[in-house]
Amino acid sequence: MTLNISVIGTGYLGATHAACMAELGFDVIGVDVDPEKIDSLSRGELPFHEPGLPELIRKHVDSGKLRFITDPDYSTVGAWADVHFIAVGTPQQPGGTGADLTYVDAATVGLAEGITKDSLIVGKSTVPVGTARRLARLVEETSRDDVAVSLAWNPEFLREGFAVKDTLTPDRLVVGTATDADEAVLREVYAEALERETPWISTDFETAELVKVAANAFLATKISFINAFSEVTETVGGNITTLADAIGFDTRIGRKFLNAGVGFGGGCLPKDIRALQTRVSELGLDHTMTFLDEMDKINLRRRERVVTLAENILGELAGKRIAVLGVTFKPLSDDVRDSPGLDVANRLYTAGAEVSVYDPEGNANAAKRFPRLGYVDSLTEAAQDADLVVLATEWNEFKALTPADLDELVAQKQFIDARNVLPAADWEKAGWSFAQLGRYYDG
């Protein structure tokens, strides 16, 4: 008998996980508290941008393997599913730096109360170490006496933009379980990946929780590390990309995540490194992760650097027209949570510039966050009469830009490539004043 699977929370992580579980052959119900999200998913429509996911959702909504419901007391999935994945948000606490566990707690306890058959609750959300053990106790206290409900933790490593591929063919699977029986259930869920010999890391709750935040802390550190060197090359000269290439050839270091630019953002890295620091402080280990505070500061300084460059180029920003290309936190996503590009656009606006924003997928979400910026539907509209063009997110459309595409549109040939993806020499040859992060700039 195949397992019935529920996924609680159908945002970026949950909608992907639900569709991929259906693709693996399971019957799946996705649950969310947001009725609009459920309505659109039930129609086979994805309320956000993720390549390949709409097709997968439509396929399995049509086949009947995938359904989406609001289930306020979790009684429907509680009576039906054998495995429940928790995929609700764990954002930064409002006004704080720790993780807000309100949603994870509410979903887990609500679910435990609604469950009426033996089942396994599997946390996928990113949580501070210690959460799973605490929730396991709560599940035991709140679930009915006549059913066996246990908890496991199975952190998620998917990347937005590659979410379907990362879920169906992960680099590794990490499961924190309390018993061999719970691990066996998860082996059944992930049987297909195990057949392909995907590394399977079976461990305790604490290690499983820490693997996720350690991976994110390491990635954030790599980005900020190269960006710290950017501050040096911007001062003394030198080529930050050549430097990254050269150290990246060392297989102990590796080239990935060493791209100097405007830094990291999104719904994960920034809040996860802050939550990690907060958690270790709570544990009395205040000094253990202070380097992450430095990484966060280096990262935020890159955004300020773009504004400083704009001021160097334009002088007074008031009344100047600036095109910002790309405001999602990375390409292939419409996610603008803690986006460096959007932050830069807003800072330029705050400094008095007239900002014209174009993003292939992110305009709508950006407009909800900062309605006061000007949003346009094409690159050419954004660049029209611009005194300065800022490339802030490296969508392919922008990486393919040549000076000839913009020469006739702009008011002044001035460019900041905040992702270091364009060939500076070509632009300079075409008469552009061209600045990049990590590169000495004297106008």
Minimum distance, C-beta of residue 25 to ligand NAD, in the bound complex (Å): 23
Helices 35-42, 53-63: axis angle to 10 degrees equals 80
Count interface residues toward ligand NAD (CB under 6 A).
26
Q: Which residue type does 184 have?
A: A
Residues 6+ apart with CB under 8 A from 224: 263, 264, 294, 295, 296, 298, 299
Residue 268 annotated as catalytic: yes
Distance CA 81, CA 207 (A): 27
Distance CA 303, CA 344 (A): 6
Distance CA 71, CA 85 (A): 14
Select 43 or 429, whichever has its Cβ closest to ligand NAD.
43
Residue 297: how many other CB atoms lie within 10 Å: 11
Using the rule CB under 6 A, which residue among 23, 50, 82, 160 binds ligand NAD? 160
Q: Is 33 in the site for ligand NAD (CB under 6 A)?
A: yes
Q: Is 387 in the site for ligand NAD (CB under 6 A)?
A: no
Tokens 């693709």 sit on residue: 23
Q: Is 9 in the site for ligand NAD (CB under 6 A)?
A: yes
Selected range binding ligand NAD among 155-163, 306-314, 360-368, 384-392, rule: CB under 6 A: 155-163
Select 11 or 54, whichever has its Cβ closest to ligand NAD.
11
Structure tokens at 302: 């890159």
Select 33 or 138, whichever has its Cβ closest to ligand NAD.
33
SS3 24: coil
State the first-to-last Cα distance of the chain, in angstroms, to the nearest integer. Answer: 69
Selected range binding ligand NAD among 3-11, 50-58, 182-190, 223-231, rule: CB under 6 A: 3-11
Selected range binding ligand NAD among 26-34, 140-148, 199-207, 310-318, rule: CB under 6 A: 26-34
Minimum distance, C-beta of residue 55 to ligand NAD, in the bound complex (Å): 19
Q: Is 156 in the site for ligand NAD (CB under 6 A)?
A: yes
Contact in structure between 269 and 216 (CB atoms under 8 Å):
yes
Using the rule CB under 6 A, which residue among 5, 6, 7, 8 binds ligand NAD? 8
Distance CA 391, CA 405 (A): 14
Using the rule CB under 6 A, which residue among 18, 20, 41, 87 binds ligand NAD? 87
Instruction: Name the closest residue to ligand NAD (Cβ).
Output: 11
Q: What is the 3 state secondary structure string of 203-232?
A: ECHHHHHHHHHHHHHHHHHHHHHHHHHHHH
Q: Is 340 in the site for ligand NAD (CB under 6 A)?
A: no
Using the rule CB under 6 A, which residue among 3, 4, 11, 219 binds ligand NAD? 11
Using the rule CB under 6 A, which residue among 3, 4, 34, 253 binds ligand NAD? 34
Sheet with strand 66-69: strands edge to edge? 66-69, 27-31, 4-8, 83-86, 119-123, 149-153, 173-176, 200-203
Q: Is 54 in the site for ligand NAD (CB under 6 A)?
A: no
Beta bridge partners of 374: 356
Minimum distance, C-beta of residue 173 to ligand NAD, in the bound complex (Å): 13
Selected range binding ligand NAD among 103-111, 129-137, 177-185, 245-253, rule: CB under 6 A: 103-111
Q: Is 37 in the site for ligand NAD (CB under 6 A)?
A: yes
Using the rule CB under 6 A, which residue among 98, 267, 326, 341 binds ligand NAD? 267
How far CA 431 is from CA of 197, 312, 321, 392, 414, in Å, comes to: 54, 18, 19, 21, 9
State phi, psi for 336 to the nearest 5 degrees: -110, 10
Q: Is 12 in the site for ligand NAD (CB under 6 A)?
A: yes
Q: Which of these is catalytic: 61, 268, 310, 386?
A: 268
**x/- string (CB under 6 A) for ligand NAD, residues 107-146?**
x-----------------xx--------------------
What is the set of active-site residues? 268
Site for ligand NAD, rule CB under 6 A: 8-14, 31-34, 37, 87-90, 103, 106-107, 125-126, 156, 158, 160, 267-268
